[in-house]
Amino acid sequence: MRGEREGTGVREERCTDTTTITTVAVVGAGMSGLIAARELRREGVDVLVLESADRPGGRMMAETSVLGSRLDLGGQWVGHGHHRFASLATELGAELFPMRTPKRPGFVDGPRRLPPMSPTVLAANAVLLAWELRAKRPAPAKWTGRTVDTWLRKVPGRQTRRLLDVLVSVTTTADLDRYSMDAFTEAVRHHGGLTAMLSTSGGAQEKLIAEGAGTLTERLAADLGERVLTGRRVTSIHHDDDGVTLRTTADTVRAVRAIVTVPPPMSARIAYDPPLPPHRTMLQQHTYMGSVYKAIAVYERPFWRQQRKRHAEFILLGHPGGAVFDTTPPGGPGHLCVLVAGAEARELDSTDTAGRHRALLGQLVPHLGPRVLAPADWHEKSWHLDEHAGGGYAALATPGTTDGYLPMPSQPVGPLHWAGTETANEHAGYVEGAIESGERVAREVLRSLRHTAL
């Protein structure tokens, strides 16, 4: 089959052997890859999306509970100002709702709930404020190599250190002994402050999607139909004056342009010929994926809303430490979302589902009662064990390096273009950033195709 693609001057042909020819090959069917493909299709460009996993969505993934509710094991919150994400949800017919949240979460250490005016909470707030202010100015040069963990060790008070440790881990998914103070304050600056990162209402955890945020990537992929090929891990990318050849675990694809949307540490698994320029190789070598475990416990009803405190938002200071949110959809069964990050997320891998269930929900018994131990359903995922995503929420810079600061670079290398949430100018690391980068790269590729066609 041969034909000229409208508006691009680029010829499309399909061979009968195992080489498929397209105009643009997109590596990765996460939010950024699907948005890029959708935008290019809208301009009449022939696109193929190659996805290594057996499902599209990448770091977004919705499941259905035994009670019929939809829940997210990957990205879910629509943060304040995440207007692209909110518009996409509305466009795809999904329902946005504000997360139910108390004035402040309960800080719980075993059976104890720390009063908001306790020395621990006040001291932690003072450190958070100091970081917030510090992030407004360039960090001292020595902070590039100084880890958050080293810095925290100087904070007086075991419980204050623990509280800060859990908050920073759950917010970034970094191993704090592998995350520099400079990278952290850069991230804070990029995201418009710590308050914005940590807050529910008015911050990054403001709204949810009743059908599950993962439904959006499912719908985008369904609309693209056969243009999304799953089970196709791209193993090598060769480019020359005539275009790009991508070898996958199943076949070969020839394209005029390729868009790589996989985060830099995962992109390092692809063999590039000719080799990538040093700045991209460094970026791959100097970044790693965060470690995060996420679980959703599903109950017939959000029973905690009838209790004295009427909420179930907690920061757990026990072991493992983590955060708990009430993500119950409107009129639906009760959903408790549990997040554990960094090294403590990986520690959970050595126990079984029942052990993780006990270790996490067990910490809530003194605060919500024994009913919390008997959910109707339990969904969980350790993202750092996902061989395709590699981890989450996002790629992080290793201490002593600055290549992986946000936004990560995306200048094209010949016919290779780069996207993915890490490259976004705004809200990098979030779904909003993934959408922004997908739209940006589609415009970039269109411009370059039109330039070639002239």
Q: Does 272 bind ligand FAD (CB under 6 A)?
A: no
Query: Could you say which of 80, 161, 233, 257 contacts ligand FAD (CB under 6 A)?
Result: 233
- Enumerate residues 6+ apart whose C-beta is below 8 A from 273: 236, 237, 238, 239
Quote the least distance from Cβ 205 to ligand FAD, whole Å: 7
When the beta carbons of 29 and 197 are compared against ligand FAD, the nearer one is: 29
Query: Could you say which of 21, 33, 256, 372 contacts ligand FAD (CB under 6 A)?
Result: 33
Query: Could you say which of 29, 229, 408, 445 contacts ligand FAD (CB under 6 A)?
Result: 29
Quote the least distance from Cβ 328 to ligand FAD, whole Å: 15
Quote the least distance from Cβ 93 to ligand FAD, whole Å: 20
Query: Could you say which of 108, 270, 316, 445 contacts ligand FAD (CB under 6 A)?
Result: 270
Query: Could you say which of 10, 75, 89, 264 contacts ligand FAD (CB under 6 A)?
Result: 75
Quote the least distance from Cβ 386 to ligand FAD, whole Å: 8
Q: Does 216 bind ligand FAD (CB under 6 A)?
A: no
Stretch that binds ligand FAD, among 8-16, 25-33, 183-191, 367-375 (CB under 6 A): 25-33
Q: Does 60 bind ligand FAD (CB under 6 A)?
A: yes
Q: Long-range contacts for 149-152 (Cβ within 8 Å, ≥24 apart)?
A: 149/176, 149/177, 149/179, 150/177, 151/181, 152/176
Query: Could you say which of 283, 431, 442, 446 contacts ligand FAD (CB under 6 A)?
Result: 431
Contacts with ligand FAD by CB under 6 A: the residue count is 41
Stretch that binds ligand FAD, among 117-125, 138-146, 257-265, 395-403 (CB under 6 A): 257-265
Quote the least distance from Cβ 431 to ligand FAD, whole Å: 4
Q: Does 264 bind ligand FAD (CB under 6 A)?
A: no
Q: Does 378 bind ligand FAD (CB under 6 A)?
A: no
Q: Does 220 bind ligand FAD (CB under 6 A)?
A: no
Query: Could you say which of 51, 206, 211, 444 contacts ligand FAD (CB under 6 A)?
Result: 51
Quote the least distance from Cβ 448 to ligand FAD, whole Å: 21
Q: Does 392 bind ligand FAD (CB under 6 A)?
A: yes
3-state DSSP of the chain: CEEECCCCCCEEEECCCCEEECCEEEECCEHHHHHHHHHHHHCCCCEEEECCCCCCECCCCEEECCCCCEEECCCCCECCCCHHHHHHHHHCCCCEEECCCCCCCEEEECCEEECCCCHHHHHHHHHHHHHHHHCCCCCCHHHHCCEHHHHHCCCCCHHHHHHHHHHHHHHHCCCHHHCEHHHHHHHHHHCCCHHHHHCCCCCCCCEEECCCCHHHHHHHHHHHHHHEECCCCEEEEEEECCEEEEEECCCEEEECEEEECCCHHHHCCCEEECCCCHHHHHHHHCEEECCEEEEEEEECCCHHHHCCCCCCCEEECCCCCEEEEECCCCCCCEEEEEEEECHHHHHHHHCCHHHHHHHHHHHHHHHHCHHHHCCCEEEEEEHHHCCCCCCCCCEEECCCCCCCCCCCCCCCECCEEECCHHHCCCCCCCHHHHHHHHHHHHHHHHHHHHHHHC
Site for ligand FAD in 318-337 (CB under 6 A): none
Upper half-sphere CA count for residue 251 (Cβ side, 13 Å)? 18
When the beta carbons of 31 and 276 are compared against ligand FAD, the nearer one is: 31
Q: Does 296 bind ligand FAD (CB under 6 A)?
A: no
Q: Does 389 bind ligand FAD (CB under 6 A)?
A: yes
Cα dihedral sign, 342-344-345-347: positive
Which tokens hold the place of 102? 């108390």
Distances (CA, A) of 179 to 147, 150, 219: 5, 10, 36
Q: Does 266 bind ligand FAD (CB under 6 A)?
A: yes
Q: Does 31 bind ligand FAD (CB under 6 A)?
A: yes
Q: Does 262 bind ligand FAD (CB under 6 A)?
A: yes
Q: Does 294 bind ligand FAD (CB under 6 A)?
A: yes
Quote the least distance from Cβ 336 to ligand FAD, whole Å: 15
Q: Does 37 bind ligand FAD (CB under 6 A)?
A: no
Query: Could you say which of 25, 258, 283, 292 contacts ligand FAD (CB under 6 A)?
Result: 292
Residues in the site for ligand FAD, rule: CB under 6 A? 27-33, 50-53, 58-60, 74-77, 233-234, 261-263, 266, 269-270, 292, 294, 383, 388-389, 392-394, 420-421, 429-432, 434
